[in-house]
């Protein structure tokens, strides 16, 4: 593939991915405001944006085997934990942006867990098996991730048990 086309696909993938997430967030806001049809509209169009992003990513040749996809997840989480979030936190602390520091800290701590979870899963997948995993719980405030049991309070942000979402 030509460099310019690949760059365009990369930029389009990023834009469609952001639109997908933005519209899901907007859907939640509309639902909380009691506007269920607007929420449904945002959710539907969010799905269309996901379709676009998936098509772009596939065309770029980035959808691979589960083992390779897990490695990509490991690499992404590792980058966020060791480079991206520490740098972002340093800047936000220097600029005394407490809300930004808080959200970066929550993400950093959650990403550490994700990297381990992906690494553990990759070892099992590389052995030809699927992972054995129970329920997965995510703190809806900071993204803390745990399996099988919800803590009384989130160890990262202190959110109560009721703020966890089960997968």
CATH architecture of the domain with range 133-167: Single Sheet (2.20)
Q: What is the mean pLDDT of residues 81-95?
A: 98
- Please give the share of the chain, as a percent, with pLDDT higher than 90: 99
Same fold yes or no, 3-59 and 65-130: yes
Q: Which burial class, exposed, middle or buried, applies to 70 when counting CB atoms under 10 A from its CB (0-12, 13-18, 19+)?
A: buried
CATH number attached to the domain at 65-130: 1.20.1260.10
Q: pLDDT at position 58, please?
A: 97
**Starting at the edge strand that comes first in sequence, how are the strands of the sheet with 164-166 ordered?**
145-147, 136-139, 164-166
Q: Report the predicted TM-score, pTM, of the whole model to 2 decimal places.
A: 0.90
pLDDT of 148 over the 90 cut: no
Q: What is the mean pLDDT of residues 99-119?
A: 98
**Nearest 5°: phi and psi at 141?**
-95, -45
- Please give the share of the chain, as a percent, with pLDDT higher than 70: 100
**Which sequence spans correspond to the domains of the chain?**
3-59, 65-130, 133-167
99 by DSSP, 3-state: which?
helix
How far apart CA 17 and CA 46 sit, in angstroms, is 9
Q: pLDDT at position 147, please?
A: 96
Q: pLDDT at position 10, please?
A: 98
SS3 per residue for 54-87: HHHHHHCCCCCCHHHHHHHHHHHHHHHHHHHHHH
């Amino acid at each position: 593939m030509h460099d310019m086309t690949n760059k365009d696909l990369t930029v389009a993938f990023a834009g469609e991915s952001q639109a997908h997430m933005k519209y899901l967030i907007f859907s939640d806001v509309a639902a909380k405001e009691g506007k269920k049809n607007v929420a449904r509209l945002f959710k539907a169009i969010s799905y269309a944006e996901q379709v676009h992003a998936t098509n772009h990513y596939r065309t770029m040749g980035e959808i691979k085997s589960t083992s390779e996809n897990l490695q990509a997840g490991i690499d992404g989480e590792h980058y966020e934990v060791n480079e991206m979030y520490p740098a972002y936190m340093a800047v936000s602390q220097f600029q005394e942006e407490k809300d930004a520091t808080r959200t970066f800290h929550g993400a950093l701590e959650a990403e550490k867990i994700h990297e381990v979870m992906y690494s553990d899963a990759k070892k099992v997948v590389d052995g030809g098996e699927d992972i054995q995993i129970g329920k997965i719980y995510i703190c809806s405030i900071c993204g803390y991730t745990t399996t099988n049991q919800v803590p009384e309070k989130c160890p990262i942000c202190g959110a109560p048990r009721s703020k966890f979402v089960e997968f």
